[in-house]
Structure 1
Amino acid sequence: MMHIHFIAIGGAAMHNLAIALHSKGYKVTGSDDEIFDPSKSRLKKHGLLPDEYGWFPEKINADIDVIILGMHARKDNPELLKAQELNLKVYSYPEYLYEQCKGKKRVVIGGSHGKTTITSMIMHVLKTLDFDFDYMVGAQVEGFETMVKLSHSAPIAIFEGDEYLSSPIDLRPKFHWYKPHVALLTGVAWDHINVFPTWPMYVEQFKIFADSIQENGSLVWYTKDPELNKICTKLPESIKSLPYDTLEHTIKDGETQVCINDKNYELNIFGEHNLQNLNGARLVCGQLGISEDQFFNAIASFAGAAKRLQTLKKNRETAIYLDFAHSPSKLKATTEAVKKQFPNRKLIACMELHTFSSLNKDFLPQYENTMKFADRALVFFNPEVIKHKQLDDITKEEVQKAFASDNVEVYTDTELMQAEIKKIDWQNKNLLFMSSGNFSGINFNAFAEELID
């Protein structure tokens, strides 16, 4: 039995890969200096939770076949140094995913935004149609126990293609590893400024990804993105180019509907951004032999991935949503989508500056007018997070100026912001939370229940 050891097993992606390999029949061990839920509970359920936290180089020996190194570890990690001393093979997370799936037809969804949603859509359709497939997605998807599945039998592998670094010792973007047969790119909007400090450097990663598509493969891409137009109109003749735009749709009483081949399909999702995602997913599924009728019958029941315009609570007068949006382009698109879906309701949109890029003083001007579709926009940041990320301090006034919109209110105290939200009469109003964090401790489900119970 192959023995695979994870250094930093507690990460969101790492613990899911560990469970997937355990389920496939491998011997899996791992270590970490701290593990939180849901990783902790999931690892414990499968008997993979380390007996004690910390790094134990004495447990690294020649009997281990594979080491998988997570981003949470450092280059001087004691277990990593011992593995290198013993000349053990050390893989990054994406490298080992490729190793497991290099004999399969690989579908990779990339782009600065929307990739989790599109990957989830494709997974939902394939599962509904009883396809056998492996996958890796960056959020929990309804109907799937884990975010990673690997098997011996599946002929297809669906990967969300992240452009962030592979590991502390492998500084290539993750999606450069996957070498897709079918690829999709949603668009290019500057992110990860700590890794790609210039716009040209960031854009170059997507060109490299497009160049990695296998011969006679296909690339689905959003036609209105200027950078993708430069990249995708210069593909080799052997690569099929499949541009897409927003799917035509109608909105009635807060419900979105599409008409395909004279047949109406009601959707659980909404917003132009999601209708773009849906159209891209449709073209990818077409490359897998799925007809349009099959696709729309299956996608009609898709409710979305966790924190991707997720409905927390709603009644006749109010809807409360949670979205992962934090980049400027996604912030603007998500706010606009909710406002257009309910044009007769006031929209209170709350956004947290939480990522390295969003809290960077040089990056802040990218947020200009991104919240203009909200009737009230509450922007929160925690100065302690800035200190933890070792960034220069920013002030409420600088954030206010960067957003450049009169509807923006800036908070640095989560209790004060929550108190302000609780004062609001929620009749004929919607609330939208947007963050990759939790506004320094908000339990979103409980808070939503309290507001409109």
Structure 2
Amino acid sequence: MSKNYHFIAIGGAVMHNLALALLSKGYQVSGSDDEIYEPSRSRLKAAGILPEEKGWFPDKIHQGLDGIILGMHARIDNPELIRAKALNIPIFSFPAFIYEQSKEKKRVVISGSHGKTTITSMVLHVLKSCGLDFDYLVGAQIEGFDLMVRLSDAPIIIIEGDEYLTSPLDRRPKFFHYHHHILLMSGIAWDHFNVFPTFENYVDQFSQLAAMTPEKGAFIFYEDDPNVKKIAAEVPNTVRKTPYREHPAVIKAGQTYLLTKKGELPISVFGQHNLQNLQGAWEICQNLGITADQFYESIASFKGAAKRQQILAKSDDSILFRDFAHAPSKLKATVEAVKVQYPDRKLIAVQELHTYSSLNKDFVHNYAHTFDAADVAIIYLNPKAVSLKKLELMDESTLRSGFKRNDLILFTETKKLKSYLENQIYQNCNLLLMSSGNYDDMDLTTLQKTINKQHS
């Protein structure tokens, strides 16, 4: 008999993907949410499981359910959650549910403040290219994969291990639930300021995670991060420890080539952080039995995860990039990567401050010097997003002081930002748009046409 699960907050990026994954497994799935945005809405509708109305309906909770999957977006006083508790229906957070579904598998967890989506994506791309059977959980849409979650009878599962909170009922990081056999840690830079009040508290979450590595398990770590290196030193020697740095490479005329035993190999991604990501992915793949020849042949066709160095428009001497970067370490790495790859081009870099941490004036000093590699540095702030998070809107002088950039430009209206960008000259110039948001759905059509037309 097929299982029957109800999702409280089905509209989330990973939540709706998990719902679709269970549906494809033959399970019965229902759900509720008070807001469902694209692309979740269209995908749930196409699958026939889009809730008929927005909101929470306790009547949907009944004894016929095998379990509730509770999203982080739901509140502790959610009426459906209250009814599920009253009926003693099993309640799972999505990480706890993933573990329940993968207890018999070899579990690989990729953790760290930055790079984990890209490393996970690289591993998935290689494993798929090599014809391996595997399950996965990743935090972005990847080319060649229909869903962000797969659950089957595969013997291994590759999991992007997020340190953010599990659910309204469980205030621990998600990655504690997966009970890894192989753990990668990419680097630690303070993020989620609203949840982890001090840097020490934040680092401690990763320390606890590393301590969970079983005897004869594997711990793969980026050794040039002092916090990660210190954590690795505390992991017992009964664990197989593998340090890594960035993969050797060379840049020629805006193209990055990996230096391999068989010569230079052109790749689509670039930047020091991506060479670190690539080396980390290779260490995981080795642990899973992939050979060097298989890895290099596969990684050559890797185009990147969604919104990571994504090219939206391109001409002979200009590129429009879209990137997810939002935390200070990600912003700095992305800006520097584009400048190093194209040192002779002007770089206009735009950052939308969108997360609670980034919009908080008590956190903004953590962004000091992150924009230094850009020729023109622009911040976009949406006053509505600031007020929703009950924060104070920062002015230009506060941001200039925090970023340590006296010529930083601030926009608080999409219309004005759009007009400014469309009036720039993009000859021998790259434009980099960074955000975990979407600039209030700013229309990029004119910008794309302007850049695509040049010398094409």
Fold equivalence (TM over 0.5): yes
Contact 2:421 2:447 in 1 (8 A): no
1:413 is displaced (CA, Å) by 1.8
Q: Write the letter of the residue equivalent to 1:327.
A: A
- Residue 235 of structure 1: aligned partner: 235
Q: Secondary structure at the match of 1:322?
A: strand
1:154 is displaced (CA, Å) by 0.5
CA deviation map 1:325-347 (0-9, x unaligned): 01111111100000000011111
1:290 is displaced (CA, Å) by 0.5
Gaps of 5+ in 1: none
Q: Which runs of 4+ in 1 moved over 6 A?
A: none
* TM alignment of 1:117-128, pairs within 5 A: 117-128=118-129
Q: Give the percent of matched residue pairs that are identical in Structure 1 and Structure 2.
A: 52
1:446 is displaced (CA, Å) by 6.1
Query: If the length of structure 1 is used for normalisation, what is the TM-score?
Result: 0.98
Distance in 1 (CA, whole Å) between partners of 2:448 and 2:208 is 43
- Residue 87 of structure 1: aligned partner: 88
Distance in 2 (CA, whole Å) between partners of 1:34 and 1:192 is 23
- Residue 418 of structure 1: aligned partner: 418
Q: Write the letter of the residue equivalent to 1:395.
A: D
Contact 1:19 1:43 in 2 (8 A): yes
- Residue 108 of structure 1: aligned partner: 109
Q: Write the letter of the residue equivalent to 1:66.
A: G
In the alignment, structure 1 residue 99 sits paired with structure 2 residue 100: yes
- Residue 184 of structure 1: aligned partner: 184
- Residue 48 of structure 2: aligned partner: 47
Distance in 2 (CA, whole Å) between partners of 1:263 and 1:296 is 11
In the alignment, structure 1 residue 321 sits paired with structure 2 residue 312: no
* TM alignment of 1:258-273, pairs within 5 A: 258-273=258-273
Q: Secondary structure at the match of 2:432?
A: strand
1:253 is displaced (CA, Å) by 1.0
In the alignment, structure 1 residue 200 sits paired with structure 2 residue 205: no
Query: If the length of structure 2 is used for normalisation, what is the TM-score?
Result: 0.97
Q: 1:445 to 1:422 in 2, by over 3 A?
A: closer
Q: 1:421 to 1:446 in 2, by over 3 A?
A: closer
- Residue 287 of structure 1: aligned partner: 287
1:25 is displaced (CA, Å) by 1.3
CA deviation map 1:121-143 (0-9, x unaligned): 00000000001000111111000
Distance in 1 (CA, whole Å) between partners of 2:330 and 2:221 is 17
Contact 2:319 2:451 in 1 (8 A): no
- Residue 448 of structure 1: aligned partner: 448
1:315 is displaced (CA, Å) by 1.3
Q: 1:425 to 1:450 in 2, by over 3 A?
A: closer
Contact 2:414 2:440 in 1 (8 A): yes
Q: Between Structure 1 and Structure 2, how many residues are aligned?
A: 452
- Residue 163 of structure 1: aligned partner: 163
1:393 is displaced (CA, Å) by 3.3
Contact 1:312 1:445 in 2 (8 A): no
Q: Write the letter of the residue equivalent to 1:208.
A: Q
- Residue 2 of structure 1: aligned partner: 3
Q: Write the letter of the residue equivalent to 2:221.
A: W
Q: Write the letter of the residue equivalent to 1:431.
A: L
- Residue 12 of structure 2: aligned partner: 11
Distance in 1 (CA, whole Å) between partners of 2:313 and 2:84 is 49
Distance in 2 (CA, whole Å) between partners of 1:361 and 1:380 is 15
1:451 is displaced (CA, Å) by 4.3
Contact 1:10 1:32 in 2 (8 A): yes
Q: Which moved more, 1:440-449 or 1:65-74?
A: 440-449
Q: Secondary structure at the match of 2:31?
A: strand
1:438 is displaced (CA, Å) by 1.3
Distance in 1 (CA, whole Å) between partners of 2:266 and 2:78 is 52
* TM alignment of 1:433-444, pairs within 5 A: 433-444=433-444
Gaps of 5+ in 2: none
Contact 1:216 1:240 in 2 (8 A): yes
